[in-house]
Amino acid sequence: MELLLSIMVGALVAASVYLMLARNVLRFLFGLILISNAANLTIFVAGRLTPEAPPLIPYGQDAPVGVVANALPQALVLTAIVIGFGLFAFALTLVYRTYQNLGTLNSDEMRLAEPEESKK
């Protein structure tokens, strides 16, 4: 299962890299969302997959009974999801604001700080 999921993660990464290389910053943003998901899945898969055994400790026990899913990557991914969301929300606002001020979503046309050098 892990291996097939790895292939899927590869497909996600490929799609997001392709999107992030676009000139339209909205596409870049879509790529950002996808690559966050891909990164989270990478961490999750690398910690191995265990179906139907959440990392919980039953009442009356001091430790989980039997094999349970790896709790560490879950905790890491949980943090990463929230931070990824914060990043996305800010980037979206930035894109929105940029469009309002500059009237374009094409990154090549956003040259206010670095005007195109005159060709020599």
Partner 1 sequence: MASSGEAVPRTYGGPAGWISVAIPAALFAYFLQFVPVIAAGTPVVVGFDWVASLDIRLSVLIDGLSLTFALLISGIGTLVTLYSTKYLGEHPEYPRFVLYLMMFMIGMLGLVLADNLIALFVFWEITTISSYLLIGFTSDEAKSRRSALQALLVTGTGGLALLAGMILLGNVAGSFELSVILAQGDMIREHPLYLPILILFLAGAFTKSAQFPFHFWLPNAMAAPTPVSAYLHSATMVKAGVYLMARVNPALGETDVWFWTLIIAGGFTTVFASILAIRQTDIKQVLAYTTLMALGALTLFIGVGTADAIKAMMIFLVVHSLYKAALFLMIGIVDHETGTREAEVLRGLGRKMPLTFLGGAIAAISMAGIPPLFGFIGKEFLYKAGLELDTAMIWVTGTIFAASVLMFAAAGISVLRPFTGPLADTPRPAHEGPWAMWICPLILGVFSLGFGLFPDTAEAWLIAPGTWAVYGDYGYEVDIYLFREVNAAFVLSLVTFAAGAVVYAFHRPLRDWLGRVFEANPIKFDPGWDRVLDGLKALAGWQTRLLQSGVLQKYIFVIFLTFAVGVGATIYLKDALQISVDLRAEYDALSFKVWAVLIFITAGALLTAYTQSRMAAVAALGVVGIGVALIFIMFSAPDVAITQLLVETLVVVLVAVAMLKLPHLGLTKDRGRRPLHAALALTVGTLTTLVLFAVLQSDLDRRLTDYFEIASWPEAFGRNIVNVILVDFRALDTFGEIAVVVIAALAAYALLRGTQYGPPRDEIEGEERR
Q: Which of residues 13-72 bind partner 1 (CB under 8 A)?
A: 13-30, 33-34, 37-38, 40-42, 44-59, 61-64, 68-72
The number of residues that bind partner 1 (CB under 8 A) is 95
Least Å distance between CB 72 and partner 1? 5
Least Å distance between CB 33 and partner 1? 6
Least Å distance between CB 101 and partner 1? 6
To the nearest 10°, the Cα dihedral for 24, 27, 29, 32?
-130
Least Å distance between CB 22 and partner 1? 6
Interface with partner 1 in residues 101-120 (CB under 8 A): 101, 105-108, 110-112, 114, 116
Question: Which residue do the tokens 């910053």 mark?
Answer: 25
The smaller minimum CB distance to partner 1, of residues 114 and 118, is found at 114
| CA pair distance 29, 20, nearest whole angstrom | 7
Contact in structure between 44 and 77 (CB atoms under 8 Å): yes
| CA pair distance 95, 9, nearest whole angstrom | 27
Question: Which residue do the tokens 């999801």 mark?
Answer: 81
Q: Structure tokens of 120?
A: 């020599």
